[in-house]
Amino acid sequence: MIKEILNKTSRKTIAIIILALLLLCSFGTYKIFANSTGKEINMSDKKVLIAYYSYSGNTKSVAEKIQKLTGGDIFEIQPQKPYPKDYSTVVNQAQVEKQNDIKPELINNGNVENYNIIFLGTPVWWYTMASPVKTFLTKNNFDNKVIVPFCTHGGGGASSTYTDMQKLAPNAKVTEGYTSYENSAKDSEIQKWINNLNL
C-alpha cells in the first residue's frame, strides 16, 4: 500500500520535473527574456547603435526606450548651428532646406563602422527625415549595414521618410520602421516591433 503511494508520488514528481524542464527549454528559445544584464531583448551577439536627431524631444524619447531595450550605444545627431526655437521659423527653414537639398554640418558626424545594426531615428520634417539625418547618412558608409528606422510625426505619418533613407544608403538593408505620433510611443509596441524584425 505504502509502496504504491510512494510510487504514485514519485511518478507525479517526475512528471512535474519533466514539465518544468520542458518549460525551461521553451523559454530558452524564446527571444524576449530578462537576462543577467537586465535588458529585455537579447542582442548580445550584435553591435547596436541608436542614432537619432530630435528637435523637441519626441524622437529622443523613442531612442532612449530602444536603448533601454537593446542595451546598444546611443548617439545624438546634432547640427553645428542649432535650429531656431520659434516653431514657425524652424518650419520655414526646414522647407527651404528640403527644397534645396541642404545637409547642415554636424557637431560630430559619428562613426557607424563598428556596428552591424543602426537604429536611425528622426522627426518627420516636410514629409521626410530632418535635414541633419540626411547629413548623418551621407557622411557615413552604410554599405552592408542594417538600418532600423523609426520616426515621430505630427499626424501625417512616416510619409517618404524610410524610402528616402534607403535612397541615401542604397547598399544598406532598411528594415520595417517604427512610426509613432508625437510622444505616444509605447515600450510594448517597440519591443514587439524589434522582436518581429528577427535581427
Ligand X SMILES: Cc1cc2nc3c(=O)[nH]c(=O)nc-3n(C[C@H](O)[C@H](O)[C@H](O)COP(=O)(O)O)c2cc1C
The residues binding ligand X (CB under 6 A) are 54-60, 90-91, 94, 123-127, 152-156, 182
Give min distance, CB of 152 to ligand X, in A.
3
Give min distance, CB of 153 to ligand X, in A.
3
Give min distance, CB of 44 to ligand X, in A.
29
- Could you tell me which of 104, 111, 110, 118 has the C-alpha nearest to residue 165? 118
Give the helix/strand (H/E) hosting 153: strand 146-153
Residue 129 vs 194, nearer CB to ligand X: 129
Residue 155 vs 170, nearer CB to ligand X: 155
Residue 22 vs 82, nearer CB to ligand X: 82
DSSP-derived secondary structure for 14-70: HHHHHHHHHHHHHHHHSSB---TT--SB--TTS-EEEEE--SSSHHHHHHHHHHHHH
Evaluate whether 191 touches 163 at the Cβ level (below 8 Å).
no
Give min distance, CB of 49 to ligand X, in A.
18
Residue 40 vs 97, nearer CB to ligand X: 97
Residue 150 φ then ψ, to 5°: -145, 150
Give min distance, CB of 79 to ligand X, in A.
12
Q: Is 139 exposed, middle or buried (0-12, 13-18, 19+ CB in 10 A)?
A: middle
Residue 9 vs 163, nearer CB to ligand X: 163
CA atoms of 102 and 99, how far apart (whole Å): 8
